[in-house]
Structure 1
Amino acid sequence: MSRKPALLSLLLGVAAACGFAPLQLWPLTVASLALFMWLIHRAPSGKAALWQGWTFGVGHFTINNNWFQHAFDFQDKMPPVLGYAAPLALALYLAVYPAAAAWVAWRFRRPRIDAGYVLIFAAAWIVAEWLRSVMFTGYAWDPLGVIWVPVQPVAALAAWIGTYALSGLTVLGAGLLLLLPLRWAAVAGVVAGAILGGLQLVSYRGIDAPAKPDALRVRAVQPNVPQDERGESDGEMMLAKLSELSGRPGAAPRLVLWPEGVVRDYFEDGYPDYAYMSDPVWLRWRMARLLGPRDLLMTGGTALQFDQMGRAVTATNSVFAVDHRARIVGRYDKAHLVPYGEYLPMPWLLKPIGLDRLVPGSMDFAEGPGPRALTVPGFGPIGIQICYEIIFSGQVVDRANRPRALFNPSNDAWFGKWGPPQHLAQARMRAIEEGLPIIRATPNGISAVIGADGRLIGTVPHETAGAVEVPMPEPLPPTLFSRLGNWLAVIVAFGLAAVAIAIRRRAD
């Protein structure tokens, strides 16, 4: 098995990762995919195709998940140096999925690259990405379709077919370049780039209608607290930061949104005395005094669960809604937990060899019931997706109670420089898919208000203290994707495969 094609595949995977935030060099991703498909077609055996697909994935996912290293800098149970191996270790597993797609396409090849090969490659890629999002609780970070977030006319297709199917169409577009003569492929790339760039400029020229003076408003607060300073949230300093940035009541009702992971005290009454660091009633009143009679504050927090002996046995990563009378009027518990962050898989195996969770504390978190919309007085149903939950296409909305907006509190202080813009881009894709505005509040960025079409209405930059307050964006009518979800990925994948088979039969 030649090393040169494998090395080239590795480098192409690295180049393809540059299409995602923060670099957003999407033409490089498309070109890299085209060369990768050409390389797989030339593989002398299925084993070689599998190997080259795997090395592509190793290069791609190591670069794309380089932010993962940063999480190891903020805990003392494992040496931080392990963080440098973590993105590579994760990539060794994630690379299985592009490898499988490459092998399937290779099995369908003919002596010359034809439309059937390209179509099957695209269909296999859709299935592989979907499998990556569900296998072993799923890791759906940065599917290929996310590269189109800066190019709204293309990203808008996600409202009709979803992100995974859009990834397949991206592979299809890259593969079609292989069917053109070399000089025409280059011309097509330049023309497509110019057209998409022009459409992008046009798409941002829309003017939003002015808001009414009494329109509902939303305010996302970012205190700029690095991960290693979160201990301040146990005392006065953190509450003072949050309070200062929360503004003051006005004529219009406000939904004030605080991040995940900054308020460390407990909100709920009724716990044993030993559990509290401070009085929960006092904590809620500190929040309530920031609110007018029609305002509401939502914030990340932790809820404890106790056994009959009064011992804390587990916890939930939660969002609490507090009104101006210091009452808790709603609570959401995170359902899609982060492996190695909020719980330790296979503790019987990993703890004896010195591996543990990256989040402080001795208890694993418990799962919530899944997507739920809280009916917030004065604001209607508000959906909640905490941090990592927002990356799972088709799994973010309560289908039985469609919300008017989604709140995505997150602690992106774990994520280094590359993670926050990537996380934001994926939230924008969920807004497009579901036709719902999304409001993100994070400790140190990037906090944002995202329109239902994926546009950024307002942001607070990374590592900046501030707040963004705007009229509550309106939802769009339910999209096709919001009705059918990832069945559309199945339909598109089968459609591409069916066309490929039809083309082959006609040619034969």
Structure 2
Amino acid sequence: MSRRFEALAARVTLAQGWRRSGLALGAGAVSALAMAPFSVWPILAVTVPVAVWLIDGASGTTRLRSASSAAAIGFLFGFGYFLAGLWWIGSAFLVDADVFGWLLPFAVAGLPLLLGLFTAVGFALARLLWTPGWRRIFAFALGVGLSELARGHLFTGLPWNSFGYALADQIWLGQIASVIGVEGLTYVALAVFAAPALLADPRPARPVLALAALTLAGLGAFGAVRLWAAPTEFDERLRVRVLQPDIPQDVKTQDSARDTIMDTYISLTDEAKGPKNRGFADADLVVWPESAFPFLLSRTPEALTRIGASLAPGTSLVTGSIRGERRNDGSGAADYWNALHLVGDDGAILSTYDKIHLVPFGEYLPFQSFLEWLGLEQLTRQRGGFASGDRRAVIALPQGPRFRPLICYEAIFPEEVAGDERPDFLLNVTNDAWFGRTPGPYQHAAQARVRSIEQGLPMVRSANGGISSIVDSYGRILDHARLGERGVVDGLLPRPLKETIFTATNGRLHLFFPFLFVFLVCIRPRRR
């Protein structure tokens, strides 16, 4: 068996030209199968060793030139990974194809090209620290792990499909996120899945291979014990009804459909769920998705009046809506926010949260004025782009529980959930109808769920096109609506945990791994 591994590794390491490029591109693309909705996480034990062997073959007369060769391989690996994992972004450009269709190939290929630069830097850094033997496993995990950390934070950040989600998406392996977060889990995943590359070494470092296997087993055992010892507990004060209207995106923005959309929300929320159904009165909290209306709810009193008339006494509504205000500079211009409103049973808006972390090219354009002057616009077609909110919020419901609002992809950023006040639950509204029935909504839901594990907080999630759900404080999905399904999700609000190690340390334990890996890479045995 070892000879077969040696032969395979030699073929990969010595590959040149298009074969070498094809191996890097293909290994990256196949790695995307580790992410939702496929979640074939063991595939990384095949593709990541290929990346290690390709770095082994990165040649050059100097260490710097070897690093440049590794960077080229890393770029191709990253491009393949992000192209295969994020191609669905192109669906958003087909919603208004007459205006944005021509941009589809640039978006589908352009974002992976940019993100591949991070992977290139990670491979180059790994090669700079490269030494034969088991140490190169930790050099790889260190270099790529740091590049993944940078990808999640630089230039507004996009930690989508970070390698740690391959493990975090498995409920029993992902419980360690309550300690080290998905960023720490990324370092662990890279080291564990790189370890099989050692099987091809003339003298395989069996302790390192055993450590990788024991790490996976330990993660599973930790998760199994944690889940077995903690059945879901519920807050009897709050019955939640989450709406998934599944309104097509090209219909959702039409002003002519405003009455039809409101009728859909009201009737769907009030539909029968059983022989003792009482409609709206079945819920203490109703949740509608992001940017639910083709109008400004705060400026449409007739809509608020109808909502108030529909809500049962004591029932509250949380809904997404665009919000606008005239500027006070005399220009007559207005600012607009992607907002979330809490509406009381009398139809009054009790509280509002404005989205802070906006989507580039979706909700605003970098260099907005200049690019608009060139004739470009973001997908939402909001002239001037959306303004960004200025504060994270904890909103208290009339019934008592408090929630942290997260609009759209704010839920994929661990730091977006942090704050001085600890809420009782997380509430995520989103509009994944932009992406249709593609892997995108599955990936979004899977990554949002990890915030519950990290924070020890339940999550209530309403998505226009899917996937809506109620998740407990351990990341267990209690109920959900499938992608493309129109309906509601009912349930009691799960109780929060007091605190996790992740929250107690402000999510900083992942910083332990770079120091550990540097030590392991640099350590040298004493000569006898």
Q: TM-score, normalised by structure 1?
A: 0.89
Give 1:296's match in structure 2, choosing from 312, 316, 329.
316
Give 1:8's match in structure 2, choosing from 4, 23, 30.
23
Contact between 1:342 and 1:357, CA under 8 Å: does it hold in 2? yes
Question: Paired residue for 1:276?
Answer: none
Q: Secondary structure at the match of 2:27?
A: helix
Question: Paired residue for 1:161?
Answer: 180
Q: Residues 361-389 of structure 1, C-alpha deviation per residue, up to 9 Å, x if partnerless? A: 32311111242111222132210110011
Q: Residues 260-317 of structure 1, C-alpha deviation per residue, up to 9 Å, x if partnerless? A: 1221222325xxxxxxxxxx22211211223222211000001112123372422010
Question: Paired residue for 1:277?
Answer: none
Provide the rounded CA distance (Å) in 1 between the counterparts of 2:295 and 2:372: 28
Provide the rounded CA distance (Å) in 2 between the counterparts of 1:187 and 1:364: 53
Q: Residues 53-112 of structure 1, C-alpha deviation per residue, up to 9 Å, x if partnerless? A: 0100010011111111001012357441421331211111101111111111111122x3
The one-letter code matched in structure 1 to 2:292 is V
Q: Which runs of 5+ in 2 are unaligned?
A: 1-15, 60-65, 271-277
Provide the rounded CA distance (Å) in 2 between the counterparts of 1:156 and 1:499: 26
How do residues 432-451 of structure 1 correspond to structure 2 at under 5 angstroms? 432-451=453-472
Question: Paired residue for 1:130?
Answer: 149
Contact between 1:69 and 1:83, CA under 8 Å: does it hold in 2? yes
Q: Residues 456-496 of structure 1, C-alpha deviation per residue, up to 9 Å, x if partnerless? A: 11111111110001000111121122233342222222222
Which sits farther off after the overlay, 80-89 or 35-44? Answer: 80-89
Q: Secondary structure at the match of 2:417?
A: coil
1:456 aligns with 2:477: yes
Q: Residue 415 of structure 1: CA displacement?
A: 1.9
The one-letter code matched in structure 2 to 1:404 is D
Which sits farther off after the overlay, 146-155 or 64-73? Answer: 146-155
Q: Secondary structure at the match of 2:68?
A: helix
Question: Paired residue for 1:216?
Answer: 238
1:334 aligns with 2:364: no
Q: Which runs of 5+ in 1 are unaligned?
A: 270-279
Question: Paired residue for 1:482?
Answer: 503
Cα distance, 1:196–1:290 mapped onto 2, change above 3 Å: same
Q: Secondary structure at the match of 2:365?
A: coil
Contact between 1:113 and 1:178, CA under 8 Å: does it hold in 2? no
Question: Paired residue for 1:82?
Answer: 103
Aligned residues: 493
Give 2:46's match in structure 1, choosing from 11, 17, 31.
31
How do residues 92-111 of structure 1 correspond to structure 2 at under 5 angstroms? 92-110=113-131
Question: In angstroms, what is the RMSD of aligned CA positions?
Answer: 2.9
Provide the rounded CA distance (Å) in 1 between the counterparts of 2:221 and 2:511: 32
Provide the rounded CA distance (Å) in 2 between the counterparts of 1:357 and 1:211: 42
Question: Paired residue for 2:3?
Answer: none
Question: Paired residue for 1:121?
Answer: 140
Q: Residue 209 of structure 1: CA displacement?
A: 5.8
Between the aligned residues of both structures, percent identity stands at: 29
Cα distance, 1:507–1:267 mapped onto 2, change above 3 Å: farther
Q: Secondary structure at the match of 1:315?
A: strand
Q: Secondary structure at the match of 1:216?
A: strand
Q: Residue 258 of structure 1: CA displacement?
A: 0.2
Contact between 1:257 and 1:299, CA under 8 Å: does it hold in 2? yes
Question: Paired residue for 1:267?
Answer: 297
Question: Paired residue for 1:275?
Answer: none
Q: TM-score, normalised by structure 2?
A: 0.86
Provide the rounded CA distance (Å) in 1 between the counterparts of 2:181 and 2:333: 41
